[in-house]
Structure 1
Amino acid sequence: MAFVQRMVSDLTGTEAPNDEFVTLVVREHPKLDQAVQLDVLPDEIKGLKSAGEIVVLEVKNGETKNLVVTLAEFNKLHKDIDQILDKAPGLRGRRPGYSPGSRA
């Protein structure tokens, strides 16, 4: 007896060799509470259009809300936003340019 494994697209059910598939990860979606992955063929997703340059933000004030905005919209926050970002501390609270073990 032999076992035969075949791969089919999660979107269309189209069968193809394993090496033709790509993994499409859906990180956020209003109907999902966790990320999921789909096995798809490149032609099935070639029509998806990029939103362009985006910035993903997280706003915290008791609860957390995620925002996705265009880079152009984000840049409107301040005329020197790039310099502000360069000076901003990381999530670990370290000063920019600081590394553990240094005496700076």
Structure 2
Amino acid sequence: MLHLVPALASETDTTELPRCKGCNAEIRPHRTTEADFPGTSASWGNNQCRLCDYEACGKDPADRFISVERVGYLSSIRAGIESDRQRRGIPAEGSLAGRIPITEFLAQIS
């Protein structure tokens, strides 16, 4: 079986990369870098680059920050969750109650 390794792609590779459906830029495969595929954009979802994906969602692509009000809101939610966990006696690092290691689970279903 032939396995292609994206990091070893060369300029002579004739494989055509997918294109962003918004701006038609070439989109490189997941888990690869621009060094692996020069001149390409990262896939940001839905066959789009980051800019087109942000614009499709009605977001400003240049604004990658969260508002101060949103931080306060999310902090209050987190504080509520943490206090609820403490009230129920769940340690900060979590609990293994009702869980098993994935290796044991796989052994049970094999």
**TM-score tier (shorter):** 0.3 to 0.5
TM-score (norm. length: structure 1): 0.34
Which has more helix, going by share of residues?
A: 2
Calculate the TM-score normalised by the size of structure 2: 0.33
